Amino acid sequence: MNSLTESPDSPPALVVGTRGSDLALVQATTTEDLLTRAFPDLTIVRDVIKTTGDRRTDVALNEVAKAEGVFDKGVFIKELEEALDSGAIDIAVHSLKDLPTALDERFSLAAVLERAPVRDAFLSRTPGGLEALPPGARVGTSSVRRARQIEWLRPDLTVIDLRGNVPTRLRKLAETDTYDAILLAEAGLVRLGYLPATAAATDETITGVPDLHVRRLDESEFFPAAGQGAIGLEIRSGDASSRACAEAIGHRPTWLRITAEREFLRLLDAGCHTPVGVFSTLVGDELLLQARVFPEAGGPPKIGATRGPAATPLIVALNLFQSLS
């Protein structure tokens, strides 16, 4: 079954599936606006779907899959893929960093939209960033990648779990004393209007929450997740109509970068919750790729860096994998 249909009595329609968080809805709106501009006669229908990760906020994010018995699925995509498989939706819109590197053969990553900033943002109630936190300060995050980098850069700090959507996390920092600081993706803060697109040279504050101070962490010092800042469009593998729609709004430079980043994760056999930071930079026709891989048993990370032709992202990823030391 494919809900993208056309008949003499009705215009074509395409169903876009999304999670219901504020950020997910903004990303769905961006996708729908691009589709409308590319296909003015196409009717776009939105289906908001609650996922396992949205339901299970009672346990740490890296324990959700174990608690739900969905070891082979990303906890924020399972129900969206079920809707794709049944034909209830045609395109699933994801924060790409939530999408596993190895997809079931029934599904394909068809395209990615132009990437937002990839950096992590450090938020605290006092200015000065990570360096200004006193020993023993508590930093909240649900990401093992962020947690391991904090523990490596500032072993004197305490990392504690932080769940909830972006507005909830901001309230937890601003209104409780559970956390002294938290880490969030810059892309989400920009897309939701909490930060301007252009970073200031000094400490910034969150729009609407002026008591919270922000430092955007340089990606070469605090490595982001593979695919961070990118919106991914997933389809049924054999759905040519939906693929054509997705590819029409895709962004080729972002595709080259995320292909290399995700291939590096695949070579590592790393999942969404493995402590790996990897980022890419596209300079002309050259792709620069760097990674920081933390052993699951603890200890300092392996670090790698490479560069190569942007047209061969899989080879660049393989070279990065082989460069780890």
Catalytic residue IDs: 98
CA distance 129 to 110: 38
Tell me the CA distances in angstroms from 13 to 32, 49, 269, one per residue in order: 12, 19, 38
Residues 6+ apart with CB under 8 A from 86: 1
Residues 6+ apart with CB under 8 A from 230: 95, 96, 97, 112, 113, 115, 116, 254, 258
How far does CA 2 lie from the centroid of its chain?
Answer: 27
Residues 6+ apart with CB under 8 A from 293: 268, 270, 275, 276, 277, 301, 302, 303, 304, 324
CA distance 171 to 42: 39
* Radius of gyration from C-alpha coordinates of the chain: 20
Residue 136 burial (C-beta neighbours within 10 Å; 0-12, 13-18, 19+)? exposed
Whether residue 108 contacts residue 226, with contact meaning beta carbons closer than 8 Å, is answered with no
Of 255, 259, 242, the C-alpha closest to 84 is: 242
Half-sphere exposure of 286 (CA within 13 A, CB side): 5
Question: What single-letter amino acid sits at 177?
Answer: D
Q: Which residue has the tokens 């002294």?
A: 180
